[in-house]
Amino acid sequence: MRHARRNLQRIARLAAVGGLVCGSLMVSDAMAGETPAPPPGAGATTRAGDATASLVERLGSARTAGNWTGADGRPVVAVTDTEAAAEVRRAGADAKVVRHSMDRLRSATETLREAPRVSGTAWSMDYASNEVVVHADTTVSAADWTRLSSVAEGIGGFVRMERTEGAFTTRLNGAAPLFGGNSRCSAGFNVTDGRGSFILTAGHCGGVGTTWFEDRGRDTTVGTTVAASFPGDDFSLVKYADGRAPEPAGDAGIVAIGDGRGVRITGAADPDVGQQVFRSGSTTGLRTGRVTALNATVNYPEGTVTGLIETTVCAEPGDSGGPLFAQGLALGVTSGGNGDCTTGGITYFQPVTSAMSALGVSLAGQAAAGGDADGAGPEPGGPSAPAAQAPPPGAETGTGAGAGGTPGGAALPGGAGGPGIVTELAEGLGPLGAVAPGLAVIGTSLVLLLISRWIQSAQGRRNYREFYSQTWA
């Protein structure tokens, strides 16, 4: 019997020590791997470079010329004088003294916008080189190139003209995941007005009244476009058909990225120049690249679109409307570009922050932008229509919209399936959810140590009584 107690005590001690070690590792891994989520609701719209952006705003557009993320990951701010450079360095960022201010760069883009429109051209501000770069694709004639070059020369030497391969087109074609009319597009993000469910996608995919189907044969209806803006902007809102909203509700924030994996979107943001980003589309799947410019202008054959995100991410016809994301944050929906995913090219995206603000919606699971306290928002169908997006048709095969998963957020094995019971319990604990399992193991181990100590103490008292009982006898 005594040997059995000793064995039980040893087992309890070993289990307790092992549990403490495992629990500590679980907590450390959870804290190291946790991606901070932005606050819910409208406040969930965040910016990766908030501190840098505040510094740039304080210095003013006459003394700065943009900011970006350097190759080493550090923020860089372009400034026009040494005093501003010193202030930037004191704030912990790198400074680059340049000749032309943001005011001059913006003035150059306005002059280009006022010139006669030339289809097949695009321009944006290159902060690192302190220039405005004008791209002209292969459809631009020699006469138009000469005329645009003359406008650039009149502005000054900081406007750089570049010829590009291919043609700037919207990225849609006539074949699969969202089918409507003669077009195929990709679903972007699930959004909501607090009452209904919608898909946020590209505006050039189809105007108001366009009916979208899940399959090429147009047998299964996904929904109907109730609001759209193109050209000028490039976003639209597709209202889910009855019974087509994502179920369970937790799936609305998950998008597929292929190979049975999904990514959970936790908020929306505006990207930084130089930031690595990811795009998912129904034609080319998951692709990555970097942001090269913000507030870009593109002259598509259908019209001019402004305020776009310029990237090195490739895209092809059918990828239009698909999501751009990073670190679990929604950034944009695919608009258009040139090239393909074999030769590369430039791709432009409509920012989701401005699109959701104009439509009066928010990402599914968050408070609607512009809505009242009880979640009510504007009626669907107008310029401020609400929205909500579900994983696009085909999400189970990995061809749907994306959010920031393995590449940019939390990957969910099994695609866009809902979370398991352990995940749900952990999420219910809020900020402690990620470390809860490790803390539970540590707590159980401490209890085992107490039990081991109690067994040892009880054994000691028993031995004491047996010894003295023999002496008294």
Cβ neighbourhood burial of 316 (10 Å; 0-12, 13-18, 19+): buried
Q: Exactly one of 101, 204, 229, 452 is catalytic; name it.
A: 204
Residue 425 belongs to what H/E stretch? helix 421-428
What pLDDT score does 247 carry?
A: 58
The pLDDT tens digits of the residues spanning 161-215 come to 999 999 999 875 433 378 887 778 998 999 999 888 999 999 999 999 999 998 8
What pLDDT score does 162 carry?
A: 96
What pLDDT score does 394 carry?
A: 34
79: amino acid identity, one letter? V
Active site residue 204: yes
Tell which residue, 437, 295, 397, has the closest CA to residue 353. Answer: 295
What pLDDT score does 364 carry?
A: 85
Spatial distance between the Cα atoms of 161 and 277, rounded to a whole number of angstroms: 26
Spatial distance between the Cα atoms of 148 and 426, rounded to a whole number of angstroms: 59
Between the ranges 69-73, 253-257, 430-434, where is the mean pLDDT highest? 69-73
Active site residue 3: no
Asked if pLDDT for residue 389 goes beyond 70, the answer is: no
What pLDDT score does 444 carry?
A: 79
What pLDDT score does 409 carry?
A: 56
Active site residue 282: no
Of residues 470 and 236, the one with the higher pLDDT is 236
What pLDDT score does 433 carry?
A: 54
Contact at 8 Å (CB) between 202 and 321? yes
Spatial distance between the Cα atoms of 106 and 380, rounded to a whole number of angstroms: 35
What pLDDT score does 33 carry?
A: 42
- What residue ranges do the domains of the chain occupy? 2-34+436-472, 47-97, 170-424
Place of tokens 């302190």: 130
For 16-41, what is the mean pLDDT?
53
Q: Exactly one of 320, 335, 362, 452 is catalytic; name it.
A: 320
Q: Which of 62-71, 151-160, 165-174, 285-294 has the lowest mean pLDDT?
A: 165-174
Model confidence, pTM: 0.70
Spatial distance between the Cα atoms of 25 and 19, rounded to a whole number of angstroms: 10
The pLDDT tens digits of the residues spanning 283-320 come to 999 999 999 999 999 999 999 999 999 999 999 999 99
Q: What confidence tier does 140 reach under pLDDT thresholds 50, 70, 90?
A: very high
Determine the distance from the C-alpha atom of residue 53 to the mean position of all C-alpha atoms in its chain, rounded to a whole number.
Answer: 19
Asked if pLDDT for residue 49 goes beyond 70, the answer is: no
For 343-360, what is the mean pLDDT?
96
Tell me if residue 232 falls in helix, strand or coil.
Answer: strand
Return mean pLDDT, the chain. Answer: 78
What pLDDT score does 287 carry?
A: 94
Contact at 8 Å (CB) between 399 and 324? no
What pLDDT score does 399 carry?
A: 34
HEC assignment per residue over 153-193: HHHCCCEEEEECCCCCEECCECCCCEEECCEEECCCEEEEC
For 61-76, what is the mean pLDDT?
94
Q: Exactly one of 234, 251, 270, 272 is catalytic; name it.
A: 234
Tell me if residue 272 falls in helix, strand or coil.
Answer: coil
Asked if pLDDT for residue 159 goes beyond 80, the answer is: yes
Residues of the chain with pLDDT > 90, as a percent, come to 51
Tell which residue, 324, 454, 323, has the closest CA to residue 389. Answer: 323
Q: What is the CATH number of domain 170-424?
A: 2.40.10.10
Asked if pLDDT for residue 441 goes beyond 90, the answer is: no
Residues in CB range of 5: below 8 A, 6 or more apart: 455, 459
User: What is the β-pairing status of strands 159-163 and 131-136?
Assistant: parallel
What pLDDT score does 459 carry?
A: 66
